[in-house]
Structure 1
Amino acid sequence: MSASEDSGKLVGVVLVSHSAAVAVAVAELARGLAGGGPTAPVAAAGGDTDGGLGTSAELIAEAARAVDRGAGVAVLVDLGSAVLTVKAMLADDGEGDDGDGGGAAELPSGTRLLDAPFVEGAVAAVVTASAGAPLDAVESAASEAYTYRKV
């Protein structure tokens, strides 16, 4: 694919929290701080499928497919089982995938779990992705958020 064909593709960002409200609020904050102009696609995948606290592979996969524009999908998670769920999904996608896209919890090709703080990393990821940066740069910006000093 030529650079001109790829120029409209932005990295998508998925925010996975045990709480749907937290995931939605962080997505809203990150979008708002990304400034004017085109904003990278962002989706919240919070809580379980019944609306309670938890983590849902189905909601994560749905969110990842919704933001996938062909430039990669950056996934940020809050803690614990969210990390384990995404890691398991990424491991499953690498084994025996026939490419038919039929799995309900299948992640798009180019999906990457980022090691970053949830709120600061989400803001850095969305701002960087909105600038048209590739997935490696989005990951780097999100990871650098660990070094942000507040005092």
Structure 2
Amino acid sequence: MVGIVIVSHMVSIAEGVRDMAKKVVPNELKIIAAGGTADGSFGTDSAKICRAIEEADDGKNGVIIITDVGSSIISAGLAIEGLSMQLHQRVKIADAPIVEGAIAAASEAAKGSDLMTVLNVTETAKSVSKRG
């Protein structure tokens, strides 16, 4: 299954989004939180994100990264650059809201969909209206 990495400037947000997404999928889906800096303070850490990507990867299906704002996107990009070329090619940063994107990604990945399908479904979460 496609793995998922949640990147936020705050540990509590990354872990909360991960926990919420895990409520809708089987336990074997890898959803890894990579929030905060190495010491857990506010910010992002490309090395921490790199380790999360490696942990989320199953060796064949790839990984979707879902970020919050600003430098989390930059840090995720730097983390991807630090990966082996083989893994680098199987990692995508989704342009999606962190909560809705994580739920959409988890739901689609749990179906066994491929990386690009999971990415596309994740990114459609930004256009879902919250008004009835």
TM-score over 0.5 for the pair:
yes
1:22 aligns with 2:22: no
Contact 2:6 2:33 in 1 (8 A): yes
Contact 1:64 1:108 in 2 (8 A): no
Matches within 5 A, 1:2-151: 10-34=1-25, 37=26, 39-69=28-58, 70-90=60-80, 92-93=81-82, 108-151=88-131
The alpha carbon displacement at 1:13 in A equals 0.2
- The CA RMSD over aligned residues, in Å, is 1.9
AA aligned opposite 1:85: S
Over alpha carbons, which structure has the higher Rg? 1
The residue matched to 2:92 in structure 1 has which SS?
strand
1:63-94 per-position Cα deviation (integer Å, ceiling 9, x unaligned): 1111101200100100000011122333x358
The alpha carbon displacement at 1:148 in A equals 1.1
How far, CA to CA, are the matches of 1:89 and 1:144 in structure 2? 24
The alpha carbon displacement at 1:24 in A equals 0.4
Structure 1 gap ranges (5+): 1-9, 102-106
AA aligned opposite 1:143: E
How far, CA to CA, are the matches of 2:88 and 2:57 in structure 1? 7
Give the TM-score, by structure 2 length: 0.90
How far, CA to CA, are the matches of 1:146 and 1:38 in structure 2? 26
